[in-house]
Amino acid sequence: MGGVPVKHHSKSKVGRRRSHLALKKLKLNVCANCNGPAMSHRACLQCGIYKK
């Protein structure tokens, strides 16, 4: 059967489990070609160059 929790989970226990679910901040680098913001290991959104 299943589906119904047998024991109650406290707010702190649930909070500790969910503490790793927060979104991480984007880490942007500077494009070597146009000096615009670019994510690492991705093509630049402004000029389209990939790590020259």
12 within domain boundaries: no
Residue 32 sits in which domain range?
24-52
Q: What is the pLDDT of residues 15-31, one digit of tens each?
A: 999 999 999 998 999 99
Residue 3 and residue 9: Cα distance in Å, rounded? 15
**What is the tally of structural domains in the chain?**
1
The DSSP annotation for the chain comes to ---S-SSPPPHHHHHHHHTT-SPPPP-EEE-TTT--EEETTS--TTT-----
10 within domain boundaries: no
43 within domain boundaries: yes
pLDDT at 6: 87
Residue 1 has pLDDT above 90, yes or no: no
15 within domain boundaries: no
50 within domain boundaries: yes
φ and ψ at 16, to 5 degrees?
-65, -35
